[in-house]
Amino acid sequence: MTLRNPGAPRAQQRGVTLFGLLFWAIVLGFVGYLLVRILPTINEYTTIQRTVEKVAAAQPPTVAEARAAFDRQKEVEYSISAISGRDLQVTKEDEKVVISYAYNKEVPIWGPVYILLKYEGRSK
């Protein structure tokens, strides 16, 4: 049997405690949950942006035709639900049709807790 010298320094322990492991698992799980809830809204935004670019590239002669073209494309793109053709701002700049839009998206997290995402964009 060996006796330790009470005055000798102890070897330092290394590693992760169970509490630390659980803490980081909860943090990563929550971030993953937020990503799963937010990524569909980002996909919808990119789909809206592509659709607006497509409509603006066709150079519709009137505001009503630009909005109708967006609504027709919206019927094809099933992922657009946040806005419709009447939410678009259609203007002309340097003889080119410019379409802009802005909308808010509320993402429910848990109970009364929501994340508010504000999206806006315009055609080039």
pLDDT tens digit string along 38-90? 999 999 999 999 999 999 999 898 899 999 999 999 888 888 888 998 999 99
For residue 27, how far is the Cα from the chain centroid?
19
Higher pLDDT, 92 or 7: 92
Is the four-CA dihedral 79, 85, 89, 91 of positive or negative sign?
A: positive
**pLDDT class for 37, splitting at 50, 70, 90?**
very high
DSSP designation for 52: H
Nearest to 105 by CA among 95, 113, 92, 115: 115
DSSP designation for 53: H
pLDDT in tens, 7-31: 667 777 778 889 999 999 999 999 9
Q: Residue 6: what pLDDT?
A: 66
